[in-house]
Chain A
Amino acid sequence: MARQDEPLPRTRRRFLVEAAAIAGAAGVGFPLATEPAAATLASMRAAIRKIVGEAPLNRGKIKIDVPALIENGNAVPFTVSCESPMTENDHVKAIHVFTEKNPQPNVISVQLGPRAGRASVSTRIRLADTQKVVAVAQMSDGSFWSDDAEVVVTLAACLEGS
């Protein structure tokens, strides 16, 4: 599906964000007067930690399906699915979605179970800017799996005036 496989070229903005994240994790204050994204990246990580705790976050099993280029960030079609037999013993318990640069990191949390049949949910989300979206799956065996996608958000040319 339409998902960016190649990483975006390392722009200065991305470097600053990543540097701030590393500095933040190392406990060093990194003043970034011109870079507001750093704050919400930290809050996204905090929101993810609230769900996952100290457990390892594995990559795989869950897949985000979102267009790589969006015409309008107000309603972005978004699907997240997990490979899982969805049996009593082996199923997806919950899926949580987060964003990096929205004013608030949480997007949606869904509770599933063996009665779901298929661990796949579609909705439409709001994206405030070009950013990364992260999805975390919580399995019945207690493990956590994640996927992320970069989305570029453009805006229509003739907007509302007043």
Chain B
Amino acid sequence: MARALINVPPKAKRGEVIEIKTLISHTMETGFRPDNTGKAIPRDIITDFVCKYNGQEIFRAELFPAIAANPFLSFFTVAMESGTLSFEWTGDNGFSSTESVNISVE
């Protein structure tokens, strides 16, 4: 599992729009960089990111080589109910990493 940092307010009011910030460790090798011999280093990137709120998908992103190394993604959601926010990153060479965070909504 790759190292990731998630920032979600631990508590929120029902109906409040909250910001979710995510950061994950990944080189995001573009596939366009040449190595010492001039050959292109093969692409190795995170291609997809999904965020689910109590199992329901609330945000999805398709990433391309133009996303910087150690991808940072920040987005919003409406705090509906207490529960779990889950995050899944998948990518080239079978890359897969998941994280989850609890949120308390009153």
Residues in chain A within 8 A of chain B (CB atoms): 74-76, 99, 102-104, 106-113, 115-118, 120-127
Contacts and interface: CB of A to CB of B under 8 A. Distances in A.
B73 interface: yes
Contacts of B62: 108-110
A116 B66 contact: no
B65 interface: yes
Interface of B: 17-18, 30, 32, 53, 56, 58-69, 71-78, 80
A86 B69 CA distance: 31
Contacts of B17: 117-118
B76 A116 contact: yes
Q: Give chain B's interface secondary structure class.
A: strand
Given A75-B68, A104-B65, A116 B30 contact: no
A126 B71 contact: no
Contacts of A104: 32, 64-66
Contacts of A125: 66-68
A103 B30 CA distance: 10
Contacts of A108: 61-64, 66-67
A106 B64 contact: yes
A122 B67 contact: no
Contact of A123 (B67, B76, B78, B80): B67
A127 to B, nearest CB: 8
Contacts of A122: 72-75
Contact of B59 (A102, A110, A126): A110
Q: Which of A75, A108, A115, A123 has the largest number of chain B CB atoms within 10 A?
A: A123
Given A104-B64, A124-B71, A126-B65, 6 more contacts: A76-B68, A103-B65, A104-B32, A110-B59, A110-B75, A121-B74
A120 B74 CA distance: 8
